[in-house]
A and B are shown apart, each in its own frame.
Chain A
């Protein structure tokens, strides 16, 4: 078993609230994607999870237990910024990791470095940004952890190596490792993650299984018979989370029964009625775009 639970986590720096009452449950073997605009609180959440920052309020638990020194043997973390020592070689980093942890497969680390094309004899300062990321990834995965916490684990990598990292994550998940990762590349999250959370201003804006979010959320759009057509009925419909109207064009963000809503719109005289699927990027933007979160917005209504 390897579950992570975050309950009512809050973290403030002075008056600035970086994370605000965040609760997330991550079951064993899940690949969990953390999304959010810059400054949404992703890295702060990671720091709290690793005890690198004291939580202002709330609890973090691994398998139901608070973080202890023994837990660190089971967690591997790849930070967003480079933490390698400039003057040490990659091989020396491997040796350092081997001494620091009971479990570290040096052969596996060398194999992974080879896969990424990193020369272990090189000093860290001679590595490109991507190769530094690759080195941190190789070290983390060779520890065969129960929990992998990855902050932007593909930054600076070329598309082939990005795909390798995703396949490594998938491989770890199939042996029961629980993975929490953040990425600005939504396409990667869409592939590798089964569940996601979208953070905004430190708060949870949306959470769920990627496939369920896609299955549930649709856009129903159509051209209204006239500009002054009343959309009040749609604003009060609980199946609709957002109403956008510009001139005669109506776009409804629907979470239940899109086909029924489409046919009622058509019956009401709207033309060109269609149901549009939303990908994760659309869902992300819908969740974090300014003043649109589950709000009913009517633009340019006559």
Chain B
């Protein structure tokens, strides 16, 4: 399945990190399957109108993290051995952990008590994961 990627160059988040995050998410959700080919660096750079070295940097980091593999002359592919999915899901955990951290920090700075934060968290769980109650 072709993946739809968007970047916001005006964001303070580096573009290569935006790309890595989106590709990992696509892999974790199974939108990109093992063995699937990624667009070439040039193609993705032109499609998104972003610098090709920035795309190459994202691909290098994804390769180092074990999500994709690149063979010279053939292109870049999602790793087919299941390692890609595990890595991508772990990355998802990291994103979730950071969001929790930020939320709790915000709550603390607003002067909320521990019990109030716990109530908010419980309400979120009930809303988004009600079936596992």
Contacts and interface: CB of A to CB of B under 8 A. Distances in A.
Contact of B46 (A170, A272, A279): A170
A211 B10 contact: no
B10 A262 contact: no
A167 B44 CA distance: 11
A103 interface: no
A214 B12 contact: yes
Interface stretch (B24-32, B69-77, B79-87, B107-115): B107-115
Contacts of A192: 49-51
B12 A191 contact: no
B57 A211 contact: yes
B106 A215 contact: no
B22 to A, nearest CB: 15
Max chain A C-beta neighbours (<10 A), residue from B12, B13, B53: B12
A193 interface: yes
Give the dominant DSSP class at A's interface. Answer: helix
Interface residues of A, number: 38
B57 A282 contact: no
A279 B11 contact: yes
Contacts of B110: 271-272
Interface in A216-275: 218, 222, 262-263, 266, 270-274
Given A171-B46, A174-B42, A271-B111, A276 B12 contact: yes
B91 interface: no
Contacts of A262: 105
B41 interface: yes
Give the dominant DSSP class at B's interface. Answer: helix
A73 interface: no
Interface string A53-96: 00000000000000000000000000000000000000000000
Nearest to A222: B109
Interface in B7-28: 9-17
B54 A211 contact: yes
A180 to B, nearest CB: 14
Contact of B9 (A170, A191, A222, A274): A191
A276 B102 CA distance: 12
Contact of A173 (B10, B15, B51, B105): B51
Max chain B C-beta neighbours (<10 A), residue from A194, A210, A222, A274: A194
A184 interface: no
A277 interface: yes
Contacts, number: 85
B92 interface: no
Given A273-B105, A274-B106, A191 B14 contact: no
B91 to A, nearest CB: 17
Max chain A C-beta neighbours (<10 A), residue from B14, B51, B54: B51
Contact of B10 (A170, A174, A190, A276): A190
A193 B14 CA distance: 12
B34 interface: no
A257 B55 CA distance: 26
B10 to A, nearest CB: 5
Max chain A C-beta neighbours (<10 A), residue from B42, B46, B109: B109
A194 B53 contact: yes
B53 A30 contact: yes
Nearest to B111: A271
B14 A211 contact: yes
A174 B13 contact: no
Contacts of B12: 214, 218, 276-279, 282
10 closest cross-chain pairs (CB), A and B:
A277-B12, A211-B14, A194-B53, A190-B9, A194-B51, A174-B42, A191-B9, A214-B14, A279-B12, A272-B109
Interface of B: 9-17, 41-42, 45-46, 49-54, 57, 105-106, 108-111
16 contacts: A29-B52, A167-B46, A174-B45, A187-B9, A192-B49, A193-B51, A210-B54, A215-B17, A262-B105, A263-B105, A271-B110, A271-B111, A274-B105, A274-B106, A276-B12, A280-B10
